[in-house]
Amino acid sequence: MTETTFLTPDEVAERYRGSVSVGTLRNWRSMKVGPSFVKIGKAVLYRVDELEAWDDRNRVQCRTAKRLEENAGDRA
């Protein structure tokens, strides 16, 4: 059996280096947006694997600039 790791809202805010505050997490929960969470009594917990999945869903894929592609072709 695999043990699931949970983080508190404070730990989630720390995970995202303060870019997502505890208040933002609270607002997202009320609007049903953001990462999934579990509520047990008054405790709000976030599964680490759910946070990682949320990260993947929100990943921004950048394209290579045309100028960089041309310069790479010059080396070949």
pLDDT, residue 63, reads: 85
Sorted by where each begins, the domain ranges of the chain are: 6-75
67 pLDDT more than 90: no
The per-residue pLDDT for range 8-55, each reduced to its tens digit, is 999 999 999 989 999 999 999 999 999 999 999 999 999 999 999 999
Burial string for 21-57 (b: 16+ CB within 10 Å, else e) reads eeeebeeebeeeebbebeeeeeebbbbeebbeeeeee
76 pLDDT more than 60: no
| Global confidence as pTM | 0.75
Of 41, 42, 49, nearest to 7 by C-alpha is 49
Locate tokens 């790791």: which residue?
5
For strands 6-7 and 43-47, give the pairing: antiparallel
